[in-house]
Amino acid sequence: MNLNDLRKKIDGIDARIIGLIGERIRLAEEIGRGKKEENKLIEDTARELQVLEKVRDIAHQQNISQYDIEKIYQQIITACKHVQGVIEVAFQGAAGAYSEEAAYRFFGSEIHTKPCESFADVFNLVERDEVQFGVVPIENSLEGSINQVYDLLLDSALRVCGEIEHRISHCLIAMPESGLDTIKRVFSHPQALAQCRSFLRRLNYEIIPTDDTAGSVRMIREKGVAENAAIAGARAAEIYGMKVLTQEIEDNPHNFTRFFILSREDSPPAADDKTSIVFSVKDRPGVLYETLCEFASRNISLTKLESRPTRQKPWEYNFYLDFEGHRQEKAASEALKSLEERVIFLKVLGSYPKARQSG
């Protein structure tokens, strides 16, 4: 068979594949209508995990890359969710991560969440309009700011359109047959491990850092070793069919993480807003005091001020500042205009309603 004949066969196969994808999307649309009529949630993470597991098994039987097939099917599932009219929200980590919990608390349960390997991936998906929103942690009440996210905000055209403060409660999670006396190793993100330091010290477990909390739960499920455990939220245990050995193991119960909601536009003025900006100033005495006076003279309250290296010259800094009010309000608009005349660089990250605390 010559090259042209082989290409014609591929064209025919592509036409059949697209036809089947179209049929799947139409069926998904019917399922979406049925769920709405029965007042059921559109989002079904457990079902999505089952589908991905099945296609991985089929790929393995066909000697095809399971990784490639899973990526293809994630896009197909996304296309199916689009026709059901679901809001899509990207977050860093595996299903069951605290960022995903924050997304559900902010937007409600009828959303489609998209796990990402990195914070940069979250930004990229929103920038490319593949999802409407992204959720990223910006600071923790115990561990401080998430510097990588601040750096990404500096370089991105995205806006902060919302925030939420989410209570972080850690659980020790293991295989269903495991008990506290069988555990020898604990996996989790370094920050989660640090927040549970006293609990872990008492039990003398081997501590193994990983990239994220919920991903650690998924990993120990896949390994299937009764001596392994992970630290994550209770929802991760539910998603992956694992056992919560003990709850609220964090050293400090006042453990909250503040999350930013990312979009291509910020929010319109509301009753109780905040604005986040980043700026840099000339290196001379009193210049930072002068910039802050632009807000004090207009009776604008500042809620945060933090410096970060510019990454361009040693010992030069950008200042990240949050203040009360929307950037379109008269006082805020005047302050920003005057500030722009005093500084080297100014960027408004976004205006958004103040966080509603969740527990």
Residue 72 has pLDDT above 80, yes or no: yes
Looking at 259, 279, 295, 323, which residue is catalytic? 259
All CATH 3.40.190.10 domain ranges in the chain, comma separated: 171-254
Specify the CATH superfamily of domain 1-84: Chorismate mutase (1.20.59.10)
Specify the CATH superfamily of domain 171-254: Periplasmic binding protein-like II (3.40.190.10)
Confidence of residue 14 (pLDDT cuts 50, 70, 90): very high
CATH top-level class of 267-358 = alpha beta
Looking at 113, 213, 257, 291, which residue is catalytic? 257
- How many other CB atoms are there within 10 angstroms of residue 66's CB atom? 16
260 catalytic? Reply is no
Enter the tokens of residue 314: 């040693």
Residue 44 has pLDDT above 70, yes or no: no
Confidence of residue 282 (pLDDT cuts 50, 70, 90): confident
Tell me, rounded to whole angstroms, the distance of Cα 190 from its chain centroid: 17
Residue 358 has pLDDT above 60, yes or no: no
Least confident of 55-59, 71-75, 227-231, 295-299: 71-75
CA 288, 291, 295, 296 dihedral sign is: positive
Confidence of residue 43 (pLDDT cuts 50, 70, 90): low
Q: How far apart are CA 22 and CA 27, in angstroms?
A: 9
Greater model confidence, 67 or 339: 339
By the 8 A CB rule, do 94 and 212 touch? yes
Beta strands in the chain, from DSSP E residues, in sequence order: 87-92, 111-116, 133-140, 144-145, 159-167, 171-174, 185-188, 206-209, 228-232, 243-247, 256-263, 273-280, 302-309, 317-324, 345-353, 356-358
Environment class of residue 78 by beta-carbon count within 10 Å: exposed (0-12), middle (13-18) or buried (19+)? middle
Which of these, 72, 82, 102, lies nearest to 42 by C-alpha position? 82
By the 8 A CB rule, do 171 and 237 touch? yes
259 catalytic? Reply is yes
Which of these, 164, 166, 165, 167, lies nearest to 352 by C-alpha position? 164
CA-atom Rg of the chain in angstroms: 24
CA 120, 168, 177, 229 dihedral sign is: positive
Which of these, 67, 64, 68, 90, lies nearest to 78 by C-alpha position? 90
Residue 110 has pLDDT above 90, yes or no: no
Q: What are phi and psi of 277, to 5 degrees?
A: -135, 165
All CATH 3.30.70.260 domain ranges in the chain, comma separated: 267-358
All CATH 1.20.59.10 domain ranges in the chain, comma separated: 1-84
DSSP string, 209-220: E-S-HHHHHHHH
Q: What are phi and psi of 174, to 5 degrees?
A: -150, -175
pLDDT digits (tens, 9 = 90+) for 80-99: 877 776 788 999 999 999 99
pLDDT digits (tens, 9 = 90+) for 303-313: 999 998 877 77
Q: What is the pLDDT of residue 253?
A: 87
Residue 79 has pLDDT above 90, yes or no: no
Nearest 5 degrees, angle CA 37-CA 42-CA 45?
150
Q: Are strands 185-188 and 206-209 parallel, antiparallel or unpaired?
A: parallel
CA 94, 96, 102, 104 dihedral sign is: positive
Q: Please tell me what DSSP assigns to residue 251.
A: S
Q: Please tell me what DSSP assigns to residue 205.
A: P
- How many other CB atoms are there within 10 angstroms of residue 308's CB atom? 16
Which of these, 343, 320, 326, 304, lies nearest to 150 by C-alpha position? 320
Confidence of residue 4 (pLDDT cuts 50, 70, 90): confident
Beta bridge partners of 260: 136, 163
- Between the two ends of the chain, the Cα-to-Cα distance in Å is 65
